[in-house]
Structure 1
Amino acid sequence: MLNEQELAAFLERHQLSLEARAIVMRIRGSEPSRRVRPGRGSMTCRYPSRKMGRIIQAESHTNELAAIYTWEYDAAVHEFYDQPEPLKLAYHNGVRSVAYAHTPDFFLVSDAFVGWVECKTDEELAKLHIEKPERYAKRDGKWISPPGEAFASQFGLGYMICPSGCFDWNLLRNLDFLADYMRADCPPPSDDERSIVQRLFESSAWMPLHELIAADAGLTADAVYKVIVAGEVYVDLSARPLMDEFARVYRDQLAATFAESDGNQAKLTVPCTSPFTLEAGEPLSWEGTAYTVAVVAGAQVTLVSASGKPVRLDVESIEQLAHDGKLVGAALTNNVAAHIRENIVRRACVRATAEAHIWIRQFNEYRRGVAVSRCARTMRSYAAKFRQAEVAVGVGALGLIPDFMSRGNRTPRFPEQVFEVIADVEREERDRGTRRTKVDIYGDIRGRCLAKGLPVPSAKTVAVWRKHHVGVHEDALRFDGHRMAYDSKPWVWTEQRGFLPHGAYPFDVAHIDHTPLDLQLVDETLGTVIGRVWLTALIDGYSRKVLAYYLSFDSPSAVSCMMVIRECVRRHGRLPSKIITDGGKEFSGSYFEILLAFFEMQKKTRPPAEGHFGSVMERLFGATNKGLIHVLQGNTLILQCVRKCSRTHDPRRLAIWTLDAIERTLDDWFENVYHISPHGGLQATPNEVFDAGVAEFGAREHVRIPYDAAFILSCLPAPKSRPQRNVYPGKGVKHYGEYYWCEAFRAPRHENTEVAVRYDPLNMAVLYAYVDGEWQQCRAHDAPLYAYRTEREVRLASAALRGLMLKDGKHREIRADQRAAFFRNLYDDERRLREERDANLAHELESEMPVADLSALPPAPRETYHQCEDF
């Protein structure tokens, strides 16, 4: 991003007008004019740009985001801003003048272009060109917008259409893959790592990337990628993705040039109207004279005639001769025959192939003079077909393949008017939007055919016509809407375009979502049924490993999202690069988005009502409920048919699981069952894929985040009802009915003033208040109750208390005496458990002691018994 001096020099160098400079300054100083939202089939993204130092919005995951990546790493691009102020464009469509408001996708400031940019897919541009030719046209092979160019030209600026086909996706994927190693805080490769790489390339000009990573124990994947980014070795980032098993690493760019030229010498394609391939030993025909390709050296090709006379031609001369039809290759000569052979094999069904195998075997036996079961006339027919195919396509066996698909009388039995009647009825049915029975539709078709004097087709004929002309998705889309038709919607294949949907390495892409567990929980102390608990999970898209989860009785909110982010750092010490969410309000809160922007994580939002984008999370939730929750006592599976649930099997009467117990069970389930079980989409276990991905694509230790007080403070939310709280003299600030105090409140200037506060959902003993320009930690009045409690115990106690509050159905505050009584009950339970343990130990000791012989003891005096009886 340009500073003030650099911007002034840039504007002066490009000699922009005063109006253009005012537009540039206004766009630089303003926020985006609108917030992009996911549409049907499109995934939006919020990209934390290091170049711009701000969040850049992308309305499309495969088009606008690609433009952002291109500009982010292009040194000629200085600034780019998303969703600038709307423009008023106008044009004449031949009948009248049309004016409309238009918001471009970006405003670009670069050395070669300054102006507005609109990103569209190639398919969308082709469609808009037909619908609105005045707005979108093609000039010299490039898409343009005449109204946009006319508006921008009056200020001396530009307006550019950026189609999706102009992006180098191999380059973009590699830039995304190496983004962690391009950070300023990434340490450079060490001298030992450099020396290992130099030693490996002493005897080889290039190596496959995966072999280079495994070549030396002292060379890790992180070291290899650091060396690539540092330029110690050469990799063509546009050739293929680094995640590809065929990715190559060269000693330097000169070695890459020689290696590629050696590969090109063996095979050279001539680009002409009828292309053929030049390679050593290839036969050619030059105006009827036979030649053979001898040597291919760069742009020079040496041909040798049948008499041994060499002829040297350049590629341009060969192109001209091939274009004129004077030079013909063997591949071009046999092009027609190859096409016929391909059609014969393609049309051969399983039955035809099996039948041809029998015919070929019998024909070979017949030619050897062996007696066969077929008559002589049939075998002569086989021989004739064999010779015809041998002459026509060069392979006689193909003539013995029967063409079952062409047999039979395929002439329509009904005139074309009958099928037009069927199509008219189907069209009217779809336009009406109501679904009639097949009997009613057939009766309508029958009546119309009789009225027109046409033959009446059978119901089976109508059904067959409908099967061949009406798709399941189109039918459901018309009658039931796009939500019901989503299951039959064709998949979108993005092998050539777009980023990998599940990421390229561990911690690249993660999904976050919520679900209520199908289990009734009870309070650990009182035994009161609290209800169902919400599970918020963060799962790695690459390995399907559960990175973190969070349980809460509160409904999903930004607090749940921030807590699962905090738990991920506590467990793994790092965060994913991209997080995919749905369109819930909890994911668009300011605190959650600030947290993502602070740690430079992209947030991608799935399109609404399209569950396939979140299939990774849905599979996890389904496997957890089906494999674990539904086998526990008190599960709510029976409540799916609540009217058939008897009182004896009501989950609320059978509930025994507490929050502490279910959390320990979930830990055990994820670590010892889910992570080590083969995953159907991976053909391996999540742990195996995760460990292999870290070893192959780098541990990326430099992006680790310390789990310290600073990180915890960044993950703390503000109270939803009132982010600022009053400072009561001598008491402090009040939160959830409890007073929190810090020494800074003793200053008289803070009394009866409001301060911003943040609370810790995992620890109700502390609160943070923004006092004197920094966040001060405040202690609760009953903080000693939490003194000897771990973070997990405090979190579980806090969650249970919030669950009891929500169960009452009203937003009442939890008083300090209630929390104190809660922990006193916990202390009593611990005391009881300790007493039971001590009693069990004493019993075990008594059982191990030797039994004494009481027969040798003297009898006790009778007075003793009399005294006992009197007593």
Structure 2
Amino acid sequence: MLNEQELAAFLERHDLSPDARAIVMRIRSSEPSRRVRPGRGSMTCRYPSRKMGRIIQAESHTNELAAIYSWEFDETVHEFYDQPEPFKLPYHNGARNVAPMHTSDFFLISDAFIGWVECKTDEELAKLAVERPERYAQRESKWISPPGETFASQFGLGYKVCPSGGFNWNLLRNFDFLADFMREDCPPPSDEERSTVRRLFERTAWMPLHELLTVEPALTADAIYKLIVADDIYVDLSARPLTDEFARAYRDRQVASVIDANHATMPVPCTSPFKLEVGASLSWEGASFTVAFVKDGLVTLVGENGKPVPVALESVEQLAHEGKLAGTALEADVSAGMRDQIVRGACVSATAEAHRRIKWIADHRRGAAVSRSARTMRSYAARFRQAEVAVGVGALGLIPDFKLRGNRTPRYPEAVFEIIADVERQTRERNVRRTKVELFGDIRNRCKEQGLQAPSAKTVAKWRKHHVGVHEDALQFDGHRMAYDSKPWVWTKQRGFLPHGAYPFDVAYVDHTELDLALVDKQLGEVIGRVWLTALIDGYSRKVLAYYISFDPPSGISCMMVIRECVRRHGRLSSKIIVDGGKEFAGSYFEILCAFFEMQKKTRPPAEGHFGSVMERLFGTTNKGLIHVLYGNTLILQCVRKCSRTHDPRRLAIWTLDAIDQTLGDWFEQVYHTSPHGGLQATPNAVFDAGLKEFGAREHVRIPYDAAFILSCLPTPKSRPQRNVYPGKGVKHYGEYYWCESFRSPRHENTDVPVRYDPLNMAVLYAYVDAEWQQCRAHDAPLYAYRTEREVRLASAAFRGLMLKDGSHREIRADQRAAFFRNLYDDERRLREERDANLAHELESEMPVADLSALPPAPRETYHQCEDF
């Protein structure tokens, strides 16, 4: 990122106008105009850019994120900003003039380009070019936006469309893979490692990278990747991913260029449909060219102006496929086409029959007995000879074509099937599903009205099976959420990052689930309820990196605590973390934590469960493999009306929070991590350990589990982030006072200070006093002095669970208290009446008899107040 002096010199060098400079300065000083959100099938990303020193948003983790990677590691790119300020984009859409507000994806500042950048996929651009040709167009194999260029040109800036097909994904994947070794805090290779590599390459000029990783035990994977970054070992990062088994490591760049040049002179297989012999004529986008010569993997074309144009043989097929290159077609190999057609159309039973017929022919020639007649055997031999002449392989003539047997003529005329299609179309227009009986009856009635033979229900069902897909049917009548289960999977393409990562701690998933188990309090034995499990799982190895259980529903505290537990166990975090659209993952503290430790936060699209299949499988395996076999599991409560009193898990619960926490940890370590995973064909532990050995332990990115890290993971109180400092007592949190020596200063008394608390340790609290976070001790801190962190965490979670349950029974206890005090007031009134009666009796016995009716009545306001209560 440019500083003020470098920016001033850069703007002066490019001679930007005052308006353009104002736009640049305004974009540099402003925040993104909007926050990107995941759409259907699109995963957003928040990328912590070291070059920019800020978070850069990407609306797509395959297209826009690729652009960010290409700029992050490009020395000619100085700055790039996401979601710059919107502007009006006027253009004529064919019917009228429009001027919508437009927000581009990025604003780029580089040596070669300054202006707005809009990222689109190739498929989306092809569709937009048809729908809005005035907005997007393709000229000279380059996508442009004429309205955007017109708007930017008035300020002397640029506007370009960045298609997804323009990225070298091998290079981007390797940049991502080597990002940890490109950090400034990564130690450089040692002299011993450099000498070891020089000794290895004295005997050979190159070797496969996977062989280099294992040939010398003293040379670790971390050392090799650091040597690649330092250019002591040359690897063509744009050729193959480093994780590919065919990746090559060269002695230096010069050796690689010589070897690659030798490979370029070798014959290159090309399936061009045109003649590439000398003198052949070709048409390239309307211009005429003549083939001058073909040599060393290149085709040299000479145009009408006489200038030679070299074209690689590999590009000929691509240009022909895109329709840009035309010429004299090659003569087709008829026999090869027939062989391919016969083999493709042969089913399993037809191939088996052909093998049997070959065996019969061989046995018949030897004079052995066969189960077929002589006439049949002569027919088989004739077919064999005919196929040998026609297609070159006699066995292909013995393959029977079973699919052509029988009467293939439709039983019903075409008008009947047109009626079926018309009824189906009207049903879809009505957008209400019809029963099969009603649909079949409507078709029969229409056929009778036109005097046609009505089809059978089996014929109608067969027609719908071939013309109406399950997913399309569910999407039409039930919506995209109901149709999601039948939606075709999106298979991994060559373009894009690996969905589950390329090495351990590359991609991690975090999510929550409520375990199907009722828990009780350890001291009272009272049922508290079900517990929430928050898990962090490594996508590459499926290893559970950390987990956190609590009675509290999912929140930002759960997310921060599971990250804290991961660092405590492994001393590091993943470079990317994938979350869903829950509000606990969108909190400022969680995003600040991800940015502080340079983790890319990717948000899964809503209602797209396949994007989190790794977590869903873990939760399903945990419930079925462990929780559902424990005493007191709540599986039966899924059909609560069928649950009898004797089998009610709320009456049978015996598991406590600390017991299930220990059991979960043991089950993950002893069962889940050591069992073969269906998606890996190996155990998570084996894949995890092998990945660390092959792709590097990356010790320099370890995070120390110290007070500074713990402080960065602490949340603020949800109700009030700031608390009052009571003189002589300190700040109050959860009914407990916390004190530090800085509170003795009079300037802090009766003032509000920001506080952060530790959910795993109720003995301490942190307050921001005197420009630093200071630790405050609880009044009852000695109670926690001899407890482990796990004991404090479990005790705090159990206490919060009882508090949650306490709140649910508040109304019941209020009624009980009111009834108790009503009886108490009745007893109090009766006692006072008896006392007054005894006092009156004593007065009667000591005084002469008098007329008591003349005395004023005794005050009874107090009694009336009690009755009113």
Q: TM-score range by the shorter chain?
A: 0.7 to 0.9
Map of 1:666 onto structure 2: 664
Q: Equivalences for 1:788-827 in 2 at 5 Å?
A: 788-809=786-807
Letter in 1 for 2:763: A
Shift of 1:387: 3.0
Deviations 1:124-155 (A, max 9, x none): 11111222222111111111112211211111
d(CA) in 1 for partners of 2:224, 2:796:
47
CA positional deviation for 1:364:
3.7
- 1:541: which partner in 2? 539
Amino acid at match of 2:20: A
TM-score normalised by length of structure 1:
0.86
SS at match of 1:763: coil
2:755 aligned partner, one-letter code: V
- Report how far residue 7 of structure 1 moved: 1.1
Q: 1:699 aligns with which of 674, 679, 697?
A: 697
Name the CA distance, whole Å, in 1 between partners of 2:679 and 2:64: 29
Equivalent residue letter for 1:209: L
The 5 Å alignment of 1:325-474 reads 335-366=333-364, 372-474=370-472
Flag the 1:470–1:297 CA change in 2: closer, same or farther, 3 A.
Answer: closer
Aligned to 2:844: none
- Match 2:611 to one of 606, 610, 613: 613
User: Given that residues 299 and 312 in structure 2 are in contact (C-alpha distance below 8 angstroms), is that contact kept between their aligned partners in structure 1?
Assistant: no
SS in 1 for 2:714: coil
CA contact (8 A) 2:299 2:313 kept: no
1:251-262 to 2 correspondences below 5 Å: 251-262=251-262
Matched with 2:171 is 171
Residue type of the partner of 1:235? V
Deviates more, 1:694-703 or 1:528-537: 528-537
Give the aligned partner of residue 212 of structure 1.
212
Which residue is equivalent to 1:523? 521
Q: Structure 2 vs 1, CA of residues 133 and 337 (structure 1 numbering), >3 Å: closer, same or farther?
A: same
Q: Give the CA deviation at 1:661.
A: 1.0
Counterpart residue identity of residue 417, structure 2 = F
Q: Structure 1 residues 242-251 or 564-573, which shifts more?
A: 242-251
* Change in 2 beyond 3 A, CA 1:333/1:379: farther
Equivalent positions of 1:145-164 (< 5 A) are 145-164=145-164
- Deviation at residue 272 of structure 1 after TM alignment: 5.3
- AA aligned to 2:557 is V
Aligned-pair CA distance for 1:396: 2.0
- Aligned residues of 1:726 and 1:734 also touching (Cα < 8 A): yes
Letter in 2 for 1:162: C
CA RMSD of aligned residues (A): 2.5
CA distance in 2, matches of 1:590, 1:167: 33
Q: 1:363 deviation in Å?
A: 3.0
Q: Give the counterpart letter for 1:110 in structure 2.
A: S
Q: Please tell me the residue identity of whatever aligns with 1:683.
A: Q
**Could you list the per-position Cα deviations for residues 422-458 of structure 1 after superposition, in whole angstroms to 9, with x for gaps in the alignment?**
1111111112121111110011111112222333222
User: For residue 2 of structure 1, what is the aligned residue in structure 2?
Assistant: 2
- 2:245 is matched with 245
Paired AA for residue 647 in structure 1: R
Q: Deviation at 1:615? A: 0.9
Name the residue aligned to 2:84: 84
Contact 1:756 1:769 in 2 (8 A): yes
- Which of 602, 605, 619 does residue 604 from structure 1 map onto? 602
Q: C-alpha separation between the residues in 2 aligned to 1:336 and 1:253?
A: 47
Distance 2:623 2:736 in 1: 37
Partner secondary structure for residue 78 of structure 1: strand
Q: Separation in 2 of the partners of 1:392 and 1:243?
A: 47
* Farther-moved stretch of structure 1 (716-725 vs 133-142): 133-142
2:384–2:396 Cα contact (<8 Å) kept: yes
The CA deviation at 1:810 is 6.1
Instruction: Provide Cα deviations, 1:474-523, integer angstroms capped at 9, x if missing partner.
Output: 00011111111111100112231111111000000000001111111111
- Greater Cα offset, 540-549 or 363-372: 363-372
Distance 1:487 1:316 in 2: 47
Partner of 1:761: 759
**CA apart distance, 1:743:** 0.5
User: CA contact under 8 A between 2:268 and 2:313: conserved in structure 1?
Assistant: no
Name the SS of the counterpart of 2:516 in structure 1: coil
User: What is the CA deviation profile of residues 259-314 of structure 1, one whole-angstrom value per residue up to 9, with x for unaligned ones?
Assistant: 22333444224685437899xxxxxxxxxxxxxx9x9867799xxxxxxxxxxxx9
Change (3 A) 1:487 1:300: closer
SS at match of 2:517: coil
82-91 vs 452-461, greater mean Cα deviation: 452-461
Once the two structures are TM-superposed, the CA of residue 599 in structure 1 deviates from its matched residue by 0.3
Question: 3-state SS of the aligned residue for 1:687?
Answer: helix
> Structure 1's 245 and 407: CA in aligned 2 closer, same or farther, altered over 3 A?
same
Q: Does structure 2 retain, via aligned residues, the 8 Å contact 1:269–1:276?
A: no
Q: Aligned residue for 2:652?
A: 654
Whole-Å Cα distance in 2 between the matches of residues 57 and 751 of structure 1? Answer: 43
Distance 1:680 1:272, change over 3 A: closer
Q: Which residue of 2 aligns with 1:182?
A: 182
Unaligned regions of 5+ residues in structure 1, if any? Answer: 279-292, 302-313, 324-330, 813-871
Count of matched residue pairs: 777
Q: 1:741 to 1:811 in 2, by over 3 A?
A: farther
The answer as to whether partners of 2:351 and 2:399 remain within 8 angstroms in 1 is: yes
Cα drift, residue 13 of structure 1: 1.6
Deviation at 1:407, TM superposition (A): 2.9
Alpha carbons of 1:297 and 1:372: their partners in 2 closer, same or farther (altered >3 Å)? same
Contact 1:270–1:277, Cα closer than 8 Å, also in 2: no
CA positional deviation for 1:84 = 0.9
> How many Å separate the matches in 1 of 2:557 and 2:272?
63
For the residue of structure 1 that corresponds to 2:417, the secondary structure is: helix
Aligned mates of 1:629, 1:317 — CA distance in 2? 61
> 1:574-589 residue pairs with structure 2 within 5 A?
574-589=572-587
Aligned with 1:382: secondary structure? helix
1:319-373 Cα distance to aligned partner (Å, 9 max, x none)? 9x999xxxxxxx9767332222111101011121111112222334455666655
TM-score, structure 2 as length reference: 0.86
Q: CA contact under 8 A between 1:269 and 1:277: conserved in structure 2?
A: no
Cα deviation, 1:754-802, whole Å, max 9, x if unaligned, reads: 1100000000110000001000100111111112222122222211111
Aligned match of 1:786:
784
For the residue of structure 2 that corresponds to 1:116, the secondary structure is strand
1 CA distance for matches of 2:171 and 2:676? 33
Q: Counterpart in 2 of 1:826? A: none
1:645 counterpart residue number:
643
**Could you tell me which residue of structure 1 aligns to residue 854 of structure 2?**
none
1:190-201 correspondence to structure 2 within 5 Å: 190-201=190-201
Offset from partner CA, 1:94-152 (integer Å, 9 cap, x none): 32112211111111111111111111111111111222222111111111112211211
Other-structure match for 1:26: 26
Instruction: Give the superposition deviation at 1:379.
Output: 3.7
In structure 1, the partner of 2:288 is: none
Paired residue for 1:713, among 711, 714, 735? 711
Q: Is the 8 A contact 1:759 1:768 kept in 2?
A: yes
The aligned counterpart of 1:123 is: 123
Other structure's SS at 1:622 match: helix
Q: Conserved in 2, the CA contact under 8 Å of 1:347 and 1:405?
A: no
Letter in 1 for 2:752: E
Note if 1:771 corresponds to 2:769: yes
Share of identical aligned residues, percent?
79
Q: What is the DSSP-based 3-state SS (H/G/I as helix, E as strand, rest coil) of the residue aligned with 1:8?
A: helix
Distance in 2 between residues matched to 1:89 and 1:340, nearest whole Å:
56
Write the distance in 2 (CA, Å) between the matches of 1:505 and 1:316.
Answer: 38
Question: Structure 1 CA distance, aligned partners of 2:691 and 2:479?
Answer: 41
Deviation per CA, 1:610-650: give whole Å up to 9, x if none.
Answer: 11111111111111111111111111111111112122222
Worse overlay, 260-269 or 602-611: 260-269
- Could you list the per-position Cα deviations for residues 208-250 of structure 1 after superposition, in whole angstroms to 9, with x for gaps in the alignment? 1111111111101101101111100110111111111111111
Tell me the distance in 2 between the aligned counterparts of 1:624 and 1:507: 22
Alignment-derived partner of residue 570 in structure 1: 568
Are 1:267 and 1:277, in contact at CA under 8 Å, matched by a contact in 2? no
